[in-house]
Structure 1
């Protein structure tokens, strides 16, 4: 089986690559590429994202045919894809970081700035926080409710369909930290920085 991490030059993804390779232990081929033919033929895709919503969307679009390739992979072939951090946020229709930017539109909704309640809460929301599991999700197998994961973000994904939410976290308000819709999975937190539990989530995705 092949798992492909999409490298579209959106910041440092070395910890994502290292974590997937650690979990795969040569039993699963982990490839890091933006080559469309390799993405088309792979079994699973990981879409990381660091930086702003706009910079990540722009970087995806700068590689000719990549957005169409990912759309086909997810919407037509219905193969599993995991979005991490801004990788999850780009599932939305639109994001409002830097400027209004169109997202991939896989899970209807928007990405808006976390309400810091007039400075009461520091942004970015950074560090360990507990997650509240709101529905059974394949990527949370053997993960207990109220487990702690590692976050770094100032913006949150607000999906229209609440059934796509698989976990929330509390910071200023209750916001979405994981989604699952058919073959589409996403985490706002960084599993690759979330110690053993994060590696378990990566394993769950590889094992799907």
Structure 2
């Protein structure tokens, strides 16, 4: 089995790869982890990961600039039903559109849009950055198996994903309002937080993703 982490010029790729490698080793799994910008490698992958750091528009532009990558992702994720994980902006790119510095079309894999965080409490600064507690219903999704509500995860973001269907928001985080922390539909999931920076919580999420059989 192998995991393809897509390199499209955006994302903390080495940290993400190291976190996956640690999850593989600690769980005793026989899985190869590779960072790649090759559409064929993504097309052949058993699991696909899209990380992301930066602005929505820049990230979707970078992804679109990789010849054949969007098509390979569609074939692997939608055609072959391979498990997919989006991380931070990689999760946001799954949306229909993003409204960061203009309006940009996303992948359209989960209906919704990415909008600015606008906390009513002026004491809450943007970006939302640091450790916060996850709020979810235990047993809601295999990605969260072994975690309890209140598990801490590490966030860095100024925009948040508003799902058109609230059932596709699997976990939230409170920052003046409930912000989406985890999304999912079918064989696709995404985390607004960074699993690679979230210590035990992040390791559990990555291990769950590697074991997940949607």
TM-score (norm 2): 0.93
Give the structure 2 partner of residue 131 of structure 1: 134
Q: Are the structure 2 counterparts of residues 36 and 28 from structure 1 closer, same or farther at C-alpha, using a change threshold of 3 Å? A: same
Structure 1: stretches of 5+ with no match in the other structure:
none
User: 31, 34, 37: which is aligned to 2:34?
Assistant: 31
SS at match of 2:206: helix
Give the structure 2 partner of residue 180 of structure 1: 184
User: 159, 162, 165: which is aligned to 2:163?
Assistant: 159
User: 178, 187, 195: which is aligned to 2:199?
Assistant: 195
CA shift for structure 1 position 193: 0.3
Cα deviation, 1:97-144, whole Å, max 9, x if unaligned, reads: 111100000000000001133743201100000010146111111011
Runs of 4+ in 1 over 2 A off after TM superposition: 116-120
Give the whole-Å Cα distance in 2 for the aligned partners of 1:142 and 1:67: 33
Moved more, 19-28 or 122-131: 19-28
Give the structure 2 partner of residue 55 of structure 1: 58
Tell whether the 8 Å contact from 2:11 to 2:51 is kept in structure 1 after alignment: no
Give the structure 2 partner of residue 114 of structure 1: 117
Spell out the pairing of 1:17-96 with structure 2 (5 A cutoff).
17-25=17-25, 27-96=30-99
CA shift for structure 1 position 93: 0.5
Tell whether the 8 Å contact from 2:4 to 2:33 is kept in structure 1 after alignment: yes
Give the structure 2 partner of residue 13 of structure 1: 13
Give the whole-Å Cα distance in 2 for the aligned partners of 1:3 and 1:69: 14
Give the whole-Å Cα distance in 2 for the aligned partners of 1:11 and 1:55: 12
Structure 2: stretches of 5+ with no match in the other structure:
none
